[in-house]
Amino acid sequence: MLFQSSLRLIRLLALLISLTIINAFPVTTQLASRASSCADVNGTFVINEQGLYPENANFDAASCQLYLSVVYNASVAVYDPYLGNMTVIEFANITRNPEFHIDGAVASPYTSTIFILANAAAAFTTQGQDVSGTNMLLQLDPVSRNEISRVNLTETTQGAYGGFQDLEFDMRGNVYVLGTFPGSIVRVEPEANNGTGVNVVEWWKVDTPTTTNGMAGLATFRNSNVLLANDNAGTTNSSLVKFDMTQAKGTPVPIPISNNRTIAGSDAMRLPVKYNGTVLLVAVDVAGIEVLRSKDGTWDNAEGLGLVSNNVSAAMGGSVTNTVEIGNRILMVEEFFADGPNGGNRTQFPFVDITDEVDRLVIVDPSFVDRSRLEKEQRSIFKGF
Ligand SMILES: *[C@@H]1O[C@H](CO)[C@@H](O)[C@H](O)[C@H]1NC(C)=O
Ligand SMILES: *[C@@H]1O[C@H](CO)[C@@H](O)[C@H](O)[C@H]1NC(C)=O
Ligand SMILES: *[C@@H]1O[C@H](CO)[C@@H](O)[C@H](O)[C@H]1NC(C)=O
Ligand SMILES: *[C@@H]1O[C@H](CO)[C@@H](O)[C@H](O)[C@H]1NC(C)=O
Ligand SMILES: *[C@@H]1O[C@H](CO)[C@@H](O)[C@H](O)[C@H]1NC(C)=O
Ligand SMILES: *[C@@H]1O[C@H](CO)[C@@H](O)[C@H](O)[C@H]1NC(C)=O
Ligand SMILES: *[C@@H]1O[C@H](CO)[C@@H](O)[C@H](O)[C@H]1NC(C)=O
Ligand SMILES: *[C@@H]1O[C@H](CO)[C@@H](O)[C@H](O)[C@H]1NC(C)=O
Ligand SMILES: *[C@@H]1O[C@H](CO)[C@@H](O)[C@H](O)[C@H]1NC(C)=O
Ligand SMILES: *[C@@H]1O[C@H](CO)[C@@H](O)[C@H](O)[C@H]1NC(C)=O
Ligand SMILES: *[C@@H]1O[C@H](CO)[C@@H](O)[C@H](O)[C@H]1NC(C)=O
């Protein structure tokens, strides 16, 4: 109980600190918004949990909880980064069924529910040779932790393409599901048929063999209609493309990247809330995080700002599959593919804080005031509270 109330105090202090900083230091627009009222974590942390293998991680700012897709067990772990405890959620006929992996567990800001992607494992273990298996989109109530709905995407794809591994949302309640073998996006439209049913639409698909590794990540920003994706197959003219989510069918528009940067061969990507949709962080598995910027947030063009290296001891030799934003901190999500196609007995999974490295690349303005240092100063002021 004592811990709970001190947690509340930490959150309150974080809110006070953020309000104070916004009022006192109106720096650039990129820094003006705080990611959420959830408290920060104190840098890099490690989750000790056998077989966690988090293929992806998403922070739910509504509940201040971290959702991890436990890929090989095909379950979802909810981790409280402040208390350090975890609850594993299992799904009937999916969890511990070797036919399934779970590759995404993402909170929708529009529905306040969690969407989970249970995909046919064989698509990945055969690198696109066998894409015939079932892919399911599940919806979870984050409060009761009960499953709300389950949609079989394979009724639409008919097993002709697969490797589904990422999710995004638009403000009309649609869910975009990205497939890798080959590049595809399926749109799940829950408001279809006058609210009487769910439509699953093949929104975009590239016309290449299923063994072409097409796309691996999607990113959107709240209340925007721009959907970003990586083109790893070189079918467009850039490694980064954008789609217009107001359209009935998707059309990829290549985004030129300046400064001779590329995100070819990348995994998942994120537009952190703290940069208000103007900075894209792209995981390039072994190398690290490519940092791109569109100052006006339109993503007609991308400025390549540079790479944050994953070659750090804190990563424990993992491959970075995405970043995750907790409060105002940004951490790398590490996966251990070398442990085998079904993982192994690993018990330690690091989340590596790269907030300061990203800030250094983004903030080229010499008048920039280091927010993390400011927040530390504010914290010491608030100690006497
Ligand atoms: C965030 O971006 C939106 C859309 O570009 C803009 O209207 C808004 O003013 C920005 N907010 C901040 C705090 O910079
Ligand atoms: C994954 O499954 C293995 C084998 O059943 C189990 O030992 C481990 O605790 C599970 N890990 C998680 C995070 O669910
Ligand atoms: C961060 O560190 C402070 C000071 O040591 C501590 O009070 C707080 O509980 C820590 N927060 C987390 C999320 O670990
Ligand atoms: C962590 O522990 C608290 C207090 O026992 C509990 O209310 C909460 O549900 C737990 N969170 C997770 C993610 O297991
Ligand atoms: C799990 O599979 C069984 C047997 O096929 C079926 O009866 C049941 O409805 C399935 N459960 C769910 C939640 O799909
Ligand atoms: C999903 O749909 C496909 C295609 O109709 C079907 O073959 C498969 O059995 C379905 N899977 C489940 C679990 O309902
Ligand atoms: C749609 O649903 C509303 C109420 O649920 C109903 O009044 C309306 O007639 C329906 N429209 C069509 C085209 O079915
Ligand atoms: C790529 O560039 C070529 C030559 O400029 C052009 O013909 C083609 O339409 C472009 N492809 C896309 C997807 O924009
Ligand atoms: C662009 O980057 C590549 C790979 O790092 C390098 O080989 C090439 O020389 C660079 N080109 C220019 C114009 O800087
Ligand atoms: C990683 O860094 C170490 C030293 O910091 C260096 O010796 C090694 O070559 C680097 N590895 C790669 C793959 O860049
Ligand atoms: C996990 O540990 C068990 C027991 O030590 C061992 O039999 C098994 O081979 C290990 N699995 C992997 C994938 O390393």
Spatial CB neighbours of 176, under 8 Å, sequence gap ≥ 6:
167, 168, 169, 170, 185, 186, 187, 188, 203, 218, 220, 227, 245
What's the rounded Cα separation, in Å, for the pair 153 and 159? 9
Name the residue among 159, 165, 245, 238 with its Cα closest to residue 204. Answer: 245
What's the rounded Cα separation, in Å, for the pair 198 and 258? 40
**Domain 28-368, architecture per CATH:** 7 Propeller (2.130)
pLDDT at residue 378 in the model: 37
What's the rounded Cα separation, in Å, for the pair 79 and 83? 9
Q: Tell me what the mean pLDDT of segment 100-126 comes to.
A: 95
The token pair that represents 159 in the structure block: 């097993």
From ligand 1's centre to the CA of 302, what distance in Å? 18
Q: Identify whether the C-beta of residue 217 lies closer than 8 Å to the C-beta of residue 229.
A: yes
Residue whose Cα lies nearest atom 6 of ligand 1: it is 276
Tens of pLDDT, residue by residue over 32-41, are: 344 468 999 9
Q: Is residue 348 over pLDDT 90?
A: yes
pLDDT at residue 190 in the model: 82
The percent of the chain in helix, strand and coil, each rounded to the nearest 5, is: 20, 35, 45
Q: Tell me what the mean pLDDT of segment 351-357 comes to.
A: 98
What's the rounded Cα separation, in Å, for the pair 205 and 214? 10
pLDDT at residue 192 in the model: 65
Q: Is 254 in the pocket of ligand 8 (CB under 6 A)?
A: yes
The token pair that represents 153 in the structure block: 């995407």
More confident residue, 292 or 381: 292
Q: Is residue 7 over pLDDT 80?
A: no
**Number of the ligand closest to the Cα of 78:** 4
Token pair 């190398």 is found at 287
Residue whose Cα lies nearest atom 11 of ligand 6: it is 134
Q: Tell me what the mean pLDDT of segment 133-161 comes to.
A: 96
For the chain, which residues make up each domain, given as ranges? 28-368
Tell me what the pLDDT averaged over the chain comes to.
86
Residue whose Cα lies nearest atom 1 of ligand 11: it is 345
Cα angle: 290, vertex 363, 220; to 5 degrees: 50
H or E segment to which residue 22 belongs: helix 2-24
From ligand 6's centre to the CA of 152, what distance in Å? 6
Q: Is 235 in the pocket of ligand 8 (CB under 6 A)?
A: no
From ligand 1's centre to the CA of 276, what distance in Å? 6
Q: How does DSSP assign 281-295, residue by residue?
A: EEEETTTEEEEEE-T
From ligand 10's centre to the CA of 311, what distance in Å? 6
Q: Is residue 382 over pLDDT 70?
A: no
From ligand 3's centre to the CA of 33, what distance in Å? 23
Per-residue pLDDT band for 364 (boundaries 50, 70, 90) equals low
Per-residue pLDDT band for 363 (boundaries 50, 70, 90) equals confident
User: Considering the entire predicted model, what is its pTM?
Assistant: 0.86
Q: Tell me what the mean pLDDT of segment 310-325 comes to.
A: 98
pLDDT at residue 287 in the model: 97
Q: How far is CA 251 from the centre of its chain?
A: 22
Q: Identify whether the C-beta of residue 238 lies closer than 8 Å to the C-beta of residue 253.
A: no
Q: Tell me what the mean pLDDT of segment 202-221 comes to.
A: 96
Cis omega before residue 109 (within 30°)?
Answer: no
Tens of pLDDT, residue by residue over 71-109, are: 999 999 999 999 999 999 999 999 999 999 999 999 999
Q: Tell me what the mean pLDDT of segment 167-173 comes to.
A: 95
The token pair that represents 337 in the structure block: 């593919």
- Pocket residue to mutate for ligand 2, from 47, 48, 49, 50, most atoms within 8 A of Cβ: 50
Q: Tell me what the mean pLDDT of segment 191-205 comes to.
A: 82
Tens of pLDDT, residue by residue over 248-288, are: 999 999 999 999 999 999 999 999 999 999 999 999 989 99
Q: Is 276 in the pocket of ligand 1 (CB under 6 A)?
A: yes
Q: Identify whether the C-beta of residue 270 lies closer than 8 Å to the C-beta of residue 257.
A: no
- Pocket residue to mutate for ligand 11, from 53, 73, 342, 345, most atoms within 8 A of Cβ: 345
Q: Is 208 in the pocket of ligand 1 (CB under 6 A)?
A: no
Q: Please report, rounded to a whole number, the percentage of residues in the chain having pLDDT higher than 90.
A: 79
